[in-house]
Structure formats: structure tokens, C-alpha cells
Chain A
Amino acid sequence: MERRQANLLLVLICVVNIHWVAGCSSDASVTITTNIPNPLIEQVPINVAIYYNDTMSQYVHSEDLGSYGNHTIDLRSQISVFNRIFDAMFKSITPVDSIDSAQGRSADAILAPSIEKFQFAIPEQTRKDFYEVWIQYRFELYGADGSLIHSWPVTAYGKANRLNYGGLQSEKSPALREAATWALRDAAASIAFSFARQDVVREWIQQRVAS
């Protein structure tokens, strides 16, 4: 009986060890399904058409980190995040299929956000406690006639402390999802604050409102 229990214990130890070893190269595939709360921001009194290119609306980042596994982050829900912040920022928003669309010409301006860079890091790489996500967006504001008014970068960053998830490999996906969620919240906050702080944009808004 004792021998049987000892053997069971050994099997258990082996399973745990195999889990640890396998954990070093675990894959992660996460889909971000977040949205942001209702933003408390002052509205800019303009009607804006919004254009997302295909890369932006279908963005899924896949990266092979070698011994750390394959990682896939589905960021397509960023469109609903941006729509929500734009809805709070402007008097009205209209989604358009292209910058030259007829609907865009009836708006005061066309705003075209695009994604330029996406990076992430996991604790095994950085030797820190954080899962981190960086996103660099570019925002382009066009007039109703299709001329470029201004273009500026917006960076977003989110992190999740692995210690909040027990520090286990099996918690990689939730931690990565949390980091990406915070990055999207940060993107929304950054665009809300950065839009009217752009000198060119501010002057254009003042002229538009005055006319």
C-alpha cells in the first residue's frame, strides 16, 4: 500500500515537472473583447467621419518568440473602443469606407486612425514582473475636401503584473489580455487628451467653429 502511494506521488511529481518544463514554451492566443467606460470628456463641436483601413479593423498580431512559444493577440475590438471615444469626443461621427467617400465630404473633417507598430513583452524575456503591450497609432485629420490638415502619432501602453495572476505559465493568456486591455484604454485616453492639444488641430477647430 505504501509503495503504491509512493509511486502515485512520484507520478505526480513527474507531471508537475513536465508542466513546468512545458510551461517554458507555452503558446498564447488571446482575443481582446474589452470596451471602455463612458468617457467624461468635453465635446468638440464638429461632425467627423471616421475611416479605418483594413489593417486597423482586422488587426491580429502573431509572433513566434522561439523558445517562449507562439503568441497571437486579436485586437479587432479596438474599433469599438475608438468608436466609443470618438462618439464622446465629437458632436457626431459617421463611419466611412474611404477618405474620399461622399459621406466624408458632408462632415467637417475625416479622421483616419491607423496602427503603425505593435510590440509586446513577457516576463521571461524581460526578467521583470510585467506583461507589457505597446501600440503606436497614427492619426490623420483630413478636411472635407480631402486635404490633410494634420498627422500625429499616439502611443499606448498597458501592463499586467504576473504576480496578480499567481506567476504561473497557465496564467499567461489572462495576463497578456489584461495588458492589451490597458493599452486600449490608454489609447482611448491619449487620443481624448491629445486631439485638441495639437496646435494645428486646435487652430483649425477654432476657425471651423467661428465660421
Chain B
Amino acid sequence: MMTKRIHIAFVLIAMHWLTGCVNTTIQEVREASTSLNSKESIVILSRKHKTSGETEDDFVGCVSNKTSGGEGALSVMSERDFMDELFPWFEPRTAPLNMRELTYVISRPLISEKIQAIGVRYLVWVEGTTERSEESGALQCTVVSGGIPACFGFLSWESGSDYEASVWDINRGITVGKVSSEASGTSIVPALVVPIPFIARVQNQACISLAEQLKTFIGT
């Protein structure tokens, strides 16, 4: 009896390891040097002017949290706080789309004084999404003899995250570089009476990778 339980536990752990595997690719293009002193901070923003393909709020929140925590943490101002402080210049329809527009915005004394006061040095614009693809399989649930519900079948799908962060230096009015994070993985739900989902957390992995890379990119 004990041996059987150990076997089942082993199989479950093995399956978790297999499905927990997510492939991540990080790329970095540096155009200028960066430095952040103890009084300066960064803000991580998403583009909201598009009608589709908008970066998820929880992804931006995740990158902000991970960048502001752990080893090499950076001081990060939240997206909403930054938008509120600089209202109405960074709203979905009014936010500068390129460095020329940013230079125009910060050339106004009201804006430059506010940015100076809140201490934000770098703007990190995140674009991208996580999408599901290649869904296959079927899963059916029914009530078997004795009134016990049971599910049988197998579901699987591919998930892919593709995000790019463009880093703008407000002080110098230049783009200092780009960091991108791609992650992909397969999720499966085998069901033999009880469905057991093994979800590949690609978005979470993309978030962790992007945050770590941003720490290295800006902090050094």
C-alpha cells in the first residue's frame, strides 16, 4: 500500500516537472549607458491606445513588483501613481508615443518640475501579450454508475508570451535600449476520473525574466 502511494506521488511530481518546463528567451539591445542613483526611480508603463493586443495590467504589475524586489532591486513608481501625478499628459490617448513627443512634453516647466519632484529617471514602455494557441484534445465529464461524476480525456494547449520593454531616459531625452522576453510552454489536463491540470505559467516566467533583465540593464 505504502509503495503504491510513493509511486503515485513520484508520477505526479514527475508530471509537474515536465509540464512546469517553460522555455524563455531574453534579448537586450543597449544604445546608451544607464545609471540610477538612490533618489531616482523608474516607472513601468503599458501602451493603452490600441484597440487590440493591449498588454495585460497584471503583467505590468508583476514586472513592477519583481523589479522592485529581490537582489538588485530598483525603486519603481507604480503606473497609476505616475499617471495621476502627471495627469493629463500620460493618459491612453495623450501619452507620448516617441522620444520627440516626450521631449515636447517635458519641455514644459510644469511637467519637468513635477518629474524632478517625483524623481522618475527612466520610463519603461512595455508592449506585448500572452496568447494561447494549438489547443487540442477533448475532455468529457459524466456520472458513472453509483452516481459518481467522472471525467475522461486529455486537453493540451500551447501558450506563448512575447513582451518588449523600451527604456527611455527622461534626463537625456534618449532611448537607452530595449529588453525583450519571450516564453513558451505547453499546458496539459489529463483526466482519468479526476482531471489534473498542469499549467505552464509562461506569463509569470516572462515577467520574472523581464524584471531580472531590467534590473541588470538599468541598475548597472
What is A's interface to B at a CB cutoff of 8 Å?
2-3, 6-7, 9-10, 13, 36-42, 128, 130, 157, 159, 161, 163-164, 182, 185-186, 188-190, 192-193
Residues facing A in B147-164 (CB within 8 A) are 147-149
Nearest 10 Cβ contacts at the A-B interface:
A189-B88, A37-B84, A37-B87, A164-B57, A6-B148, A189-B91, A6-B147, A40-B110, A189-B94, A192-B88
Set of chain A residues within 8 Å of B85, measured between Cβ atoms: 37
In the bound complex, how far is the Cα of B90 from the Cα of A186, in angstroms? 11
Q: Is B114 an interface residue (CB 8 A)?
A: yes
Among candidates A9, A42, A188, residue contacting B88 with C-beta atoms closer than 8 Å:
A188
Q: List 27 A-B contacts (CB under 8 A).
A: A3-B146, A3-B147, A6-B143, A6-B148, A10-B149, A13-B149, A36-B88, A37-B85, A40-B114, A41-B88, A41-B110, A42-B108, A42-B110, A130-B51, A157-B93, A159-B51, A161-B56, A161-B57, A164-B57, A182-B92, A186-B91, A189-B87, A189-B88, A189-B91, A189-B93, A190-B93, A192-B88
Contact mask for chain B residues 118-149; partner A; CB cutoff 8 A; 1 contact, 0 none: 00000000000000000000000001001111
Apart from A3-B146, A185-B87, A190-B93, what are 17 other A-B pairs with CB-CB below 8 Å? A3-B147, A6-B148, A7-B147, A9-B149, A36-B87, A36-B88, A40-B86, A40-B88, A40-B114, A130-B51, A159-B51, A161-B57, A185-B88, A188-B88, A189-B88, A189-B93, A193-B94
B residues 82-114 near A (Cβ < 8 Å) are: 84-89, 91-94, 108, 110-111, 114
B52 touches which one: A3, A10, A40, A128 (CB < 8 A)? A128
B interface, over-half SS? loop
Complex Cα gap A42–B113 (Å): 13
**Could you say which of B93, B111, B114, B143 has the most chain A C-beta atoms within 10 Å of its C-beta?**
B93
A40-B110, A42-B110 known; A185 vs B146 contact (CB < 8 Å) = no
Q: Which residue among B51, B52, B56, B88 has the maximum number of chain A CB atoms within 10 Å of its CB?
A: B88
In the assembly, what is the distance between CA of A10 and CA of B88, in Å?
A: 52
Main secondary structure of the interface of A (DSSP, over half): helix
* B contact residues around A193 at 8 Å (CB): 88, 94
For residue A163, which residues in chain B have a CB less than 8 angstroms away from its CB? 56
Q: Does B54 contact A (CB under 8 A)?
A: yes
For B52, B94, B146, which residue has the most chain A Cβ atoms within 10 angstroms? Answer: B94
- Write the chain A residue with the least CB distance to B84: A37
